[in-house]
Amino acid sequence: MILKSVWKSLFVFSAISVIAVSTVNAQDAKEGRTLFRAKCSSCHALDAKLVGPALTGVTDRHSEEFLLKWIPNSQALIASGNPEAVKLFNDNGKVAMTSFPELDETKVKDILAYIQEGEPKPAAGTEGAAGASAKDEGTSGLSIAGIVAIVAIAIVILVILGRASKLLERLILQKQGIEIEEDVPLKVGIRKMFKNKKFVMFFILCLIIALGSFGWMGMWNTGVHTGYQPVQPIKFSHELHAGINQIDCQYCHNGAFKSKNATIPSLNVCMNCHKAVQARDKYDGEISPEIKKIYNALGYDPETQKYDESKSKPMEWVRVHNLPDFAYFNHSQHVVVAEDAIRKAKGLQPNEPVCFACHGPVNTMEEIYQYSPLTMKWCINCHKETDISGQKNNAFYAKVIEAHEKIKKGEKITPALLGGLECGKCHY
């Protein structure tokens, strides 16, 4: 009887664990934040109107059933004549929202969970820490709540099953005519509880599950630096340069479209503008302190407009996006060869550079930070979802098709035909 009750308890406990964990994962605000930044932030903000309306409180204004249909394909919902969709379309100036067929119901719920929860607040004392420490988003509150709920529900079920098991056992013994001694009420106490073998077994099981869960979450997030924003030697504002002044990404990062590395611009690129632009009007006629840092690093005297090489020193920028040494990523292959496919997959607008697909809305960042997780899973998911079937006119895919045609004819194929002579294949 004891073995049967234990196996029943374990079965029920496992079933509830699966259901509870599935529910938690279905509405993960942390994952929703990543999706929101990738899919929604170019047109929407939580508390401010951009191209579209502010989204805080959207779950109060519209039902979840409506939002699950509207977000992936609003245009289809409008075309179907849905009154709520048509009204929303008209109220927002008849601006069509981009369709996101890659967003399934789970991903939409993740986004809605993030909108409800809002932007996580950084812990006190972590902003601006010297040496560039990463912003820790922490474990999802829903995940912790799910684990606590699992344990609580499991305790209740085990207590109920234990009592039911004892009752059935008493009834069976009574029918067999066996006298049953009355149970002495168990006094509540830690020592008494740990003398109960069932409780000890359950306690050990819960401990293993809890430690395993937290260990798994800790290992899973090891090396993931989403939100990493180091302190740089110059407070360079991408919002001012790429956003307000509309400077093209390639002007500074000219390597992204022709080589493996995007490259960090040298200070002489800055001097193309800042030899004349000194922002004196904002500092009572004085040169901006940040522009002075450029001059000091180059040994430049703005009064004489001459350089003193003996005073020059390198600018020690802190790298933000850093892949492991064993990972090979080629910028040019992504932003040139696969530009159209990536734009379509990520839902980028025509006026948005393809760089936004990985680096996020850089034109809104006062200080640059790591927008995407850059994990192997994140890259693989993109490779699984991105449609490259329309890339046949691209020179890279033309070589692949040419190679396939030669294979069909039984002709010789060499690595050179498939780009094997490219320097980056061997040299980093």
Counting residues of the chain whose pLDDT is more than 70, the rounded percentage is 81
How large is the average pLDDT for residues 133-151?
A: 58
pLDDT of 173 higher than 80:
no
How large is the average pLDDT for residues 88-92?
A: 84
End-to-end CA distance of the chain: 67
pLDDT of 418 higher than 90:
no
Query: How many Cβ atoms from other residues are within 10 Å of residue 355's Cβ?
Result: 22
Domains of the chain, first to last: 2-22+140-220 (no CATH), 29-117 (1.10.760.10)
Instruction: Output 239 or 148, whichever has higher pLDDT.
Output: 239
pLDDT of 120 higher than 70:
no
pTM metric for this prediction: 0.50
pLDDT of 336 higher than 50:
yes
Split at pLDDT 50, 70, 90, the class of 141 is low
Beta bridge partners of 306: 301
Per-residue pLDDT at 220: 77
Supply φ then ψ for residue 314, to 5 degrees: -70, 150
pLDDT of 132 higher than 50:
no
Q: Does residue 93 contact residue 86 with C-beta atoms inside 8 Å? A: no
Split at pLDDT 50, 70, 90, the class of 138 is very low
Q: Which of 377, 397, 395 is nearest to 387 (CA)?
A: 397
